[in-house]
Amino acid sequence: MKLADTKKTESVIFTIFKMELLDHFQRFRFTFITMLSILLIIVATIINVENYRQKLDNYLSASRQHKESLKNVKVYSRLNPNIEHKPEVLEILSQGITGQFSPTVNVQRTRMPEFKPGSTVDNEYLAVIFEIDISYVISVIFSLMGLLLAFDAINGDRRNGNLKMILANRVHRYKVLIAKSLGGISILSISLAFGFICCMLVMINSPGIMLDSGDWLRIGGLFISSLIYASLFYMLGLLLSAIAREPATALAFSLFFWVVLVIIWPGAVRYFGKQLFPIPSLEYLQRNEEYQQLDTDEIYKLYGNFHEAGSGGGMISVSGDGTLTFNSMGGRFPPPDQDKLNFLIKKAEEINEVIQEQNDREWQIRANYVTQQMRQYRIIHIISSFSPAYLYAHITSILSRTDIGSYSTFMEHIYEFRSQIIQWLNDIDAIHSQKWFVEAGELDLNGLSEFSTPRIPFRECLSHILLPVSELLFLTIVLFLIAHVVFLRNDVS
């Protein structure tokens, strides 16, 4: 008996499911939105593929220039390599904070590397602006598509009598709602799959685009996340269809919620959050802490009258970080003798202590500034998370490795690389060698390790998106349950 009931339930759900699919396929709204989304996805992919290739060319060119510039360094004290941030191939799908930070980071011995914005912004962590990429197209178009497919799913059938006829056959209402939900999600998945297939075809047929197994796993994660996101809006439309008796009323409320949740909320929260939780500028903190960067004249004074100590001719120059360099003027002047060199080494050690204290103080101020930025970012992130569109953008940027966390990982590797440089200089006792000051041919950098760009494994990305994906899935289930409760109390006449 139970087996027969189960088969009957499956048969009823499958029958209504097929009716929903056929109904959606025959509607102009489905065809129009699907074609529009595919067109926008193809255009956005072509544009972003070209942008990525340009960034990759710039990265390769800059990296070669940085390597060549190291060969021109003649003294150990000016060994300050530049590191270039490699663009991520999946930024074609979700640009995240790409472009908001400078791709070049200068690694200095005397000061910590820092985040530098690539554009004029007052908080780099909030500098996430909407870009016309695949994730943005899906965020806008497929959320609207989910609502437009569902706003008349229940009240439309009530109005034309189909719902009354179905329920007259002793079909439970939860079966009707399950079938309609499965039908709507299936149609969304078909449309979404067409969009992703078109995007992938453009990418794999573009020169210079290489996708490894990890990238394909991330693309799969992007597809599943996109389907959950679109399904959430379908459930919202289904709920509004159960509440409103007229499809026109449900449509009006659907468009209202779409504008608020997708268009207005993320940007408004960011703007008002910055007004309600302001942070002082870095310049203000430096003035408040009575911080002042030493200029070159002050550094000369700290070194003392080294010209009287005798340079043996030639040119002695001082940089802003306290580095003293002797230039033999094309070999016309001999390098300093041992007594003069010892004098310079002694003064270099003294100035290094002063500059290190200054840099430590500067780093504390910057660390305080970054802490306040992150606090502001977290508050606005929490408030923005009430918008499914923001959660979805956060998920896609993590999977594409274009989020703030991925860039922070890059900077952590920069800090580690700086420590390796300092340790290497200490190991070879560079500060007590003549080449610390004197330009005498190329430096031997064979023992210095090269910087390697960090690769964030898919498993780590998966752990980071677990919470926001769970939130989207939870909201989808809650909307379905509320719609079920409302539908149970509906009068079908």
Residue 471 within a domain: yes
**Who's near 227: CB < 8 A, 6+ residues apart?**
185, 188, 189, 192
Q: Which segments of 161-212 does DSSP mark as H helices, in order?
A: 162-168, 173-204
Q: In whole angstroms, give the CA distance from residue 317 to residue 296.
A: 10
- The rounded mean pLDDT for the chain is 79
199-203, 205-209, 283-287, 378-382: which is most confident: 199-203
Residue 429 within a domain: no
Q: In whole angstroms, give the CA distance from residue 260 to residue 43.
A: 26
Residue 123 within a domain: yes
> Domain count of the chain?
1
Collapsed DSSP state (helix, strand, coil) of residue 316: strand
The tens digit of pLDDT for each residue in 275-307 reads 666 666 655 555 555 445 554 455 545 454 444
Q: In whole angstroms, give the CA distance from residue 193 to residue 182.
A: 16
Indicate the pairing of strand 324-327 with strand 315-318: antiparallel
Collapsed DSSP state (helix, strand, coil) of residue 3: helix
Is 484's pLDDT higher than 70?
Answer: yes
φ and ψ at residue 187, rounded to 5 degrees: -70, -35
Query: In residues, how long is the chain?
Result: 493
Q: What is the mean pLDDT of residues 345-370?
A: 67
Residue 103 within a domain: yes
The tens digit of pLDDT for each residue in 434-483 reads 677 666 667 777 778 888 887 888 888 889 999 999 999 999 999 999 99
Q: In whole angstroms, give the CA distance from residue 218 to residue 223.
A: 9
What is the CB-side half-sphere exposure of residue 1 using CA atoms within 13 A? 0
Residue 418 within a domain: no
How far, CA to CA in Å, does 403 sit from each of 49, 88, 101, 271, 396? 19, 11, 11, 20, 9
- Asked whether 96 and 445 are in contact (CB, 8 A), the reply is no
Tell me the helix, strand and coil percentages in the chain, rounded to 5.
Answer: 70, 5, 25
pLDDT of residue 127: 42
Indicate the pairing of strand 104-106 with strand 324-327: unpaired
The tens digit of pLDDT for each residue in 377-403 reads 777 778 777 889 999 999 999 999 998
160-169, 317-326, 364-373, 407-416: which is most confident: 407-416
**Who's near 106: CB < 8 A, 6+ residues apart?**
80, 81, 82, 83, 113
Extract the runs of DSSP E, i.e. beta strands, from 93-154. 104-106
Residue 292 within a domain: no
Confidence band for 308, pLDDT divided at 50, 70 and 90: very low
Q: In whole angstroms, give the CA distance from residue 493 to residue 479.
A: 24
Q: Answer with the residue of higher pLDDT: 374 or 55.
A: 55
Q: In whole angstroms, give the CA distance from residue 358 to residue 284.
A: 17
Q: What is the mean pLDDT of residues 240-260?
A: 93
Work out the end-to-end distance of the chain between its first and last CA atoms, rounded to an integer number of angstroms. Answer: 32
Q: 50-86 b/e with 16+ CB inside 10 Å = b? A: ebbbebbeebeebbeebeeebeebbbbbbbbbbbbbb
The tens digit of pLDDT for each residue in 62-105 reads 989 988 888 888 778 778 888 998 899 999 999 887 777 788 88
Q: In whole angstroms, give the CA distance from residue 153 to residue 131.
A: 33
pLDDT of residue 306: 45
What is the DSSP-derived secondary structure letter of residue 313? Answer: S
Collapsed DSSP state (helix, strand, coil) of residue 326: strand
Q: pTM here? A: 0.80
The parent domain of residue 48 ranges over: 2-277+382-404+465-488
Residue 374 within a domain: no
Residue 26 within a domain: yes
